[in-house]
Structure 1
């Protein structure tokens, strides 16, 4: 009976999902403040730097916003960061990424971990793990690839982020999807 009481008192760990970040959520970039907030509240933990196990296109769209395109086999291996995120943390990330508004889609991805610079070894030790990533929504991803000359980046670096415009500083008379459509159909 005592063992059963102990079992009832044991708390189960908060479910976590691995999220691969490749753009503005990474350390040193404009939206990383959200990740820092999630880490402060215990809703996210930095795991490791990593790269995609397969090649994917990583491109910039309007306002130098980065987009990972769900087109495995195109582009190059993309470097980023892996975080373990709680369900409530995931809801905040989904909101930022506009999941319900058709901006991005959260889908699975396989990543290769770098050699142990993370502070959480919970990925199983093989160096490869399944995660999820925020991909450009399928409604415009193929056009975004064509608009970028079918050339992708290996990393969203300070160079690519130099012209990034924060959401609060963008024109508010159009939706983000409107801005994407204008970018896709512009000639510059």
Structure 2
């Protein structure tokens, strides 16, 4: 792969194959900045919930929820991670890229995943009744509202807090 070291990234939502944001990983693979390594599952249980606009969130509460099924990628530290971090809003307080242990073919791996930001992750889990998913699947993917299809006045952080505080079900479709 091109440029720098490689990091293992566990994806569980719209970055998976067959989902809306997978185009980014496809671009990175074509550029030699990422490689698909296969399916995997988190070693520990974590909450996985859907928030406003059908956006999936992994919450950093190990031992809660279920073991999460997803995919493992090797991503260039130099070229790939910056593009993934931008998509996931790391600098804007949307997600945090944190360590996660996954079980893949051939044994366990230390990887990283994009978790709901600590400012709202646990609140989102509670808002969802502390009932989580084991996988973001095709049915849930149909509920995902693409960024360009969200309201003109859409604000990620404001809508998360509105969803949590007011339980606005209009944001969850």
- Scaled to the shorter chain, the TM-score interval is over 0.9
Q: Does 1:169 align with 2:159?
A: no
Q: Please identify runs of 4+ aligned residues in structure 1 that moved more than 3 A.
A: none
| CA deviation vs aligned residue, 1:140-160 (integer Å, no higher than 9, x gap) | 011100111100000000111
Kindly state the Cα deviation for residue 185 of structure 1 after the two structures are TM-superposed. Answer: 2.0
Q: Which residue does the alignment assign to 2:61?
A: 71
Q: Which residue does the alignment assign to 1:109?
A: 100
Q: Does 1:42 align with 2:32?
A: yes
Q: For residues 140-155 of structure 1, what are the structure 2 equivalents within 5 Å?
A: 140-155=120-135
| CA deviation vs aligned residue, 1:108-158 (integer Å, no higher than 9, x gap) | 000000x3xxxxxxxxx4x10000000000000111001111000000001
Q: Does 1:31 align with 2:11?
A: no
Distance 1:163 1:21 in 2: 18
Q: Which residue does the alignment assign to 1:54?
A: 44
Distance 1:64 1:134 in 2: 16
Who wins on radius of gyration, i.e. which is larger? 1
Q: Give ranges in structure 1 of 5+ residues lacking alignment.
A: 1-11, 116-124
Q: Give ranges in structure 2 of 5+ residues lacking alignment.
A: none
- The alignment's TM-score, normalised by the length of structure 1, stands at 0.85
Distance 1:32 1:18, change over 3 A: same
Distance 2:43 2:3 in 1: 28
- The alignment's TM-score, normalised by the length of structure 2, stands at 0.92
Distance 2:52 2:143 in 1: 10
SS in structure 2 at match of 1:53: strand
Q: For residues 124-143 of structure 1, what are the structure 2 equivalents within 5 Å?
A: 125=106, 127-143=107-123
Q: Which residue does the alignment assign to 1:5?
A: none
The aligned length equals: 166
Q: Which residue does the alignment assign to 1:3?
A: none
